[in-house]
Amino acid sequence: MVGVDEAGLWAAELESVFARVAGRFSRVDLGWRMRDNVRGLLAPVGRKNGWQLAEYAGHHGPAGFQHLLNGATWDADAVRDDVQDYVSEELGCPGGVLIVDDTGFLKKGTSSAGVQRQYSGTAGRTENCQIGVFAAYASPKGRALVDRELYLPKSWTGDTGRCRAAGIPGNRGFATKGELARAMILRALASPLPIAWVTGDCAYGQEWRMRRTLEEAGVGYVLAVPKSQQLHAPFGRIDHAIAQAPEEAWERMSCDDGAKGPRLYDWAAARLPAIDVFDGDAPTHERWILARRSMARPDETAYYMAYAPNGATVGDLVRVAGSRWAIEEAFQAAKNECGLDQYEVRRYPGWYRHITLAMLAHAFLAALAARTIEKGAAETTPPASSLSPWQRSGGSWMFSFPAPSPATAPPHTP
């Protein structure tokens, strides 16, 4: 049960959050509606739709909230920037991780912007839904959603009339989920958020442009990739490279704490040689390959490409890989506690406005929780092996293409 003093502190903190974004609403009545809306999103309301939020706020009906989300003039992207500033102040740490992923929103009909039958990882099957691509920020202090984009399938971007009816801007063309994630990453890197790493699943990790963007920015990453991912010449596929790892290269480590305790897996990692054309004479970062093997089902292996500052350890990579679950936890919390998925808006601007206000509410909860949360990361060093492309170099493994013997070496070409 929350005490009177604690409730007063929460109320004061929420007012400070409202003050932070108040300037984005040019009219006083819109500012008050925004406050009532966010308070409702934070409240124990059965379903956080327009009618029930209006009833909780004491309004005669949902018209005011509907106008706030669909008709009023205010910039949801500016509020998103305020959310990023707030999360930076409350959760920011030098080793912070930005996580990209998508989530589905089940919908009926064909009118909601971006809706169609498409695969939803949230449902685990093809459903009639919208897909939102999100970025979350995670640090030892906590995690919060900091950006969002609505994925528009080609069935939408190729139909001008349909887009116009849903309020989709005329300049919004088709973009893959990876391209939307890359745009959010660039925005986050330009924000005050202290980002040392980026992670995501293989839908995003296989995007070569995304990885190269991060390398050019000097930002580390640990990104899942499919088993068919090609390494730079002459190493071939990542699953073939990992298959050559000696058993002593695998180390059992926890990548994070889950609901049932540490998430233990077997991990193998090896550094790759520098790429001269990209890295120059004195590279500050190194590329790695990383694999995660299930203890219960050893035939199930996940693969990662990584880019880490010189001196990074396997434990660092494992920690970053494990932080990807933070966005799943943020989705669950934002949906369960802040109504992220309980909207009834159909038009494109309304989606961004509702999602942004739900993100603001979730960031507030994350900031409150951050004051009591502390986390640490484990660090281990794998053992060595000699006869393999996997060679030990200092405290880590190096995957190097074996030099050809004189008998098999190709003739010199001038």
Q: Is residue 409 over pLDDT 70? A: no
Q: Is residue 386 over pLDDT 60? A: no
- Burial bucket for residue 310 (CB in 10 Å: 0-12, 13-18, 19+): exposed
Residue pointed to by tokens 């893959």: 176
Report the pLDDT value the prediction gives residue 120, as an integer from 0 to 100: 87
Per-residue pLDDT tens digits for 301-348:
999 999 999 999 999 999 999 999 999 999 999 999 999 999 989 999
Report the pLDDT value the prediction gives residue 391, as an integer from 0 to 100: 62
Q: Cα–chain-centroid distance for residue 148?
A: 10
Per-residue pLDDT tens digits for 233-271:
788 999 999 999 999 999 999 987 766 778 899 999 999
Per-residue pLDDT tens digits for 278-308:
988 889 999 999 999 999 898 899 999 999 9
Report the pLDDT value the prediction gives residue 377, as an integer from 0 to 100: 35
The percentage of the chain sitting over the pLDDT mark of 70, rounded to a whole number, equals 87
Share the mean pLDDT of the chain.
88
CA gap 248, 77 in Å, rounded: 50
Report the pLDDT value the prediction gives residue 4, as an integer from 0 to 100: 53
The percentage of the chain sitting over the pLDDT mark of 90, rounded to a whole number, equals 74
Report the pLDDT value the prediction gives residue 251, as an integer from 0 to 100: 94
